[in-house]
């Protein structure tokens, strides 16, 4: 991570007025089985040879831009601790993490961010970024952002348009009044066009009045609030009330769920950009890519001489134009053409590359048939760390548990299962019925059914242990919490 960005984000005296707003609320179901609701694509490392997740990269690429504030991140409340942990790993303390109880698309999310800035002594410029984009030319990206600041300071609502490189039918387009080129990089917006058919997309490719809609926006907080007040006052009222009725929770900003549930769901393109006369499009040639499906991942990946892209433990023979990805096992293909195969430890997807956009509908079908793999995977993230189911039967289950340094599970009990813990690495502090025990590597302990217990990591390194559950019911809802340092719901101790 660049020292420049770290210093700016942690220096309270730094006079900054460019507020990044990272939209991180998507579910990424087109990239199933790797991306699921429990861990969507923005929290994964999808780019070749990159150690950072897409969310982390979204902020890190801003390190050369002047006047950057720490990010305001908007995410689903189920992912709050994933977001906090990923920011911690790059040494960034977000300005705030706004938690959506449910998605209402981009316009309400952006409005909420602007309202949170409304009481600032400065009127910051908001730079709205989706957390699932790839940018390969950071210098050009930074130059476009710097140009956008000039227009935003004049009260314009800026959208960044990407020069098309092919007749793409999966992106929206922006029509500008003037042609965009190296010599003329900005224009007023004339019209927005939803995903066109192939014949229209081919015409757009040849016309410099048309650019791809990147979904990257810039404007002053006051500008977007006034324009939404003019065009959609009901949305403004609901968002204001949901913020006022919400509460601060650690570094998280919660909304009033009941009020927010009445908010209309609408993208900013339709709610504002198609109706405003303040729109300005700026040409952005930065190697932008919306990694939205496996076809786009294949296009973006390094390939062999037969145009095969492979990730992980993969062996291919007599195959071409394929994408194979293995997360845990050897994946072998022979005589394949234009196929994709994605293996995780609990699901395998095999499909023609041409139907990758249908995977979103496939996930809905899996949900209807009650396949838990449609939403969750074996590795589940919690505020204290994570756990992964290794194996299970009808009355037993084996998990690998990792607990972060100085972290602790809740004080809890189970009505239907007993547990046995074996420490693999690190130091564990175990509380069972008010008695504390310290365990080290290769030591174990038994937690009887119905006992109040808590597991903590008092050490400075990751604690890893194996948990063996036994009982008639082994689901995660068999937890009664009594105390929790992460403010999760607990029972009333006076009634226990």
DSSP, residue by residue, 43-64: GS--STT--S-HHHHHHHTTTT
174: helix, strand or coil? strand
pLDDT tens, residue by residue, 192-218: 998 999 999 999 999 999 999 999 999
pLDDT value, residue 211: 96
Residue 13 clears pLDDT 60, i.e. is over it: no
Mean pLDDT of 488-496: 57
Mean pLDDT of 123-139: 94
Mean pLDDT of 275-299: 93
Residue 3 clears pLDDT 90, i.e. is over it: no
pLDDT value, residue 67: 83
Can you name the residues that pair with 192 across neighbouring β-strands? 174
Rg, the chain, Cα only: 25
Please give the share of the chain, as a percent, with pLDDT higher than 90.
82
pLDDT tens, residue by residue, 230-240: 999 999 999 99
pLDDT value, residue 486: 82
Phi/psi region, residue 381 (left: phi>0; alpha: psi -120 to 50; beta: rest), is beta
> Residue 46: pLDDT band by 50, 70, 90 thresholds?
confident
Domains of the chain as residue ranges with CATH:
3-290 (3.90.550.10), 300-368 (no CATH), 379-495 (2.60.120.10)
Mean pLDDT (the chain) is 91
Spatial distance between the Cα atoms of 165 and 175, rounded to a whole number of angstroms: 16
Mean pLDDT of 332-357: 95
pLDDT value, residue 15: 40
Residue 73 clears pLDDT 60, i.e. is over it: yes
pLDDT value, residue 48: 67
pLDDT value, residue 495: 35
Spatial distance between the Cα atoms of 433 and 447, rounded to a whole number of angstroms: 10
pLDDT tens, residue by residue, 79-93: 998 999 999 999 999
Spatial distance between the Cα atoms of 436 and 13, rounded to a whole number of angstroms: 45
Mean pLDDT of 468-475: 94
> Residue 49: pLDDT band by 50, 70, 90 thresholds?
low
Pairing label, strands 96-100, 72-76: parallel
pLDDT value, residue 381: 85
Please give the share of the chain, as a percent, with pLDDT higher than 70.
95
pLDDT tens, residue by residue, 365-415: 999 999 989 998 888 888 899 999 999 999 999 999 999 999 999 999 999
Query: In this predicted model, which residue has the larger pLDDT, 440 or 118?
Result: 440
Q: How far apart are the first and last CA of the chain?
A: 49
Q: Which residues contact 81 (CB under 8 A, 6 or more apart)?
A: 381, 382, 383, 486
Mean pLDDT of 463-467: 97
> Residue 16: pLDDT band by 50, 70, 90 thresholds?
very low
Residue 184 clears pLDDT 60, i.e. is over it: yes
The strand ranges marked E within 77-156 are 96-100, 125-130, 133-135
> Residue 487: pLDDT band by 50, 70, 90 thresholds?
confident
Residue 122 clears pLDDT 90, i.e. is over it: no
454: helix, strand or coil? strand
Mean pLDDT of 351-362: 93
Query: In this predicted model, which residue has the larger pLDDT, 459 or 488?
Result: 459
């Amino acid at each position: 991570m660049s020292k420049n960005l770290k210093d700016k984000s942690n220096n309270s005296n730094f006079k900054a007025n460019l507020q990044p707003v990272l939209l991180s609320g998507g579910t990424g179901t087109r990239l199933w089985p790797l991306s699921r609701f429990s861990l969507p694509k923005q929290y994964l490392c999808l780019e070749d040879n990159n150690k950072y997740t897409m969310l982390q990269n979204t902020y890190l690429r801003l390190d050369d831009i002047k006047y950057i504030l720490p990010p305001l991140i908007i995410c689903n409340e189920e992912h709050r601790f994933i977001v906090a942990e990923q920011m911690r790993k790059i040494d960034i303390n977000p300005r705030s993490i706004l938690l959506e109880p449910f998605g209402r698309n981009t316009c309400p999310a952006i409005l909420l961010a602007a309202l949170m800035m409304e009481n600032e002594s400065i009127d910051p410029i908001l730079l709205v970024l989706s957390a699932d984009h790839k940018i390969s030319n950071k210098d050009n990206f930074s130059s476009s952002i710097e140009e956008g600041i000039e227009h935003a300071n004049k009260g314009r609502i800026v959208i960044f348009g990407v020069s098309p490189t092919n007749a793409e039918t999966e992106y929206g387009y922006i029509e500008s009044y003037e042609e965009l080129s190296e010599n003329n990089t900005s224009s007023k917006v004339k019209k927005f066009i939803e995903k066109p058919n192939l014949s229209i997309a081919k015409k757009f490719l040849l016309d410099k009045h048309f650019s791809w809609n990147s979904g990257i926006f810039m404007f002053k907080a006051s500008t977007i609030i006034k324009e939404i007040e003019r065009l959609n006052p009901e949305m403004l009222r609901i968002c204001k009330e949901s913020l006022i009725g919400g509460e601060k929770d650690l570094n998280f900003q919660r909304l009033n769920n009941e009020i927010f549930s009445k908010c209309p769901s609408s993208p900013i393109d339709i709610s504002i950009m198609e109706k405003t006369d303040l729109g300005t499009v700026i040409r952005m040639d930065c190697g932008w890519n919306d990694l939205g499906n496996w076809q786009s991942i294949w296009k973006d990946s390094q390939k062999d001489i037969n145009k095969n892209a492979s990730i992980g433990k993969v062996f291919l023979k007599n195959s071409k134009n394929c994408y194979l990805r293995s997360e845990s096992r050897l994946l072998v293909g022979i005589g394949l053409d234009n196929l994709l195969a994605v293996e995780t430890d609990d699901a395998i997807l095999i499909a023609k590359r041409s139907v990758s956009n249908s995977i979103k509908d496939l996930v809905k079908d899996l949900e209807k048939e009650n396949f838990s793999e449609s939403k969750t995977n074996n590795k589940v993230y919690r505020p204290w760390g994570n756990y992964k189911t290794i194996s299970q039967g009808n009355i037993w289950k084996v998990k690998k548990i990792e607990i972060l340094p100085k972290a602790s599970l809740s004080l809890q009990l189970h009505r239907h299962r007993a547990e046995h813990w074996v420490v693999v690495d690190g130091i564990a502090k175990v509380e069972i019925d008010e008695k504390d025990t310290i365990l080290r590597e290769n030591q174990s302990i038994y937690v009887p059914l119905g006992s109040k217990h808590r597991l903590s990591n008092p050490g400075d390194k990751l604690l890893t242990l194996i948990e063996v559950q036994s009982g008639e019911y082994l689901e995660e809802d068999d937890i009664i919490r009594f105390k929790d340092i992460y403010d999760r719901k607990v029972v009333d101790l006076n009634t226990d």
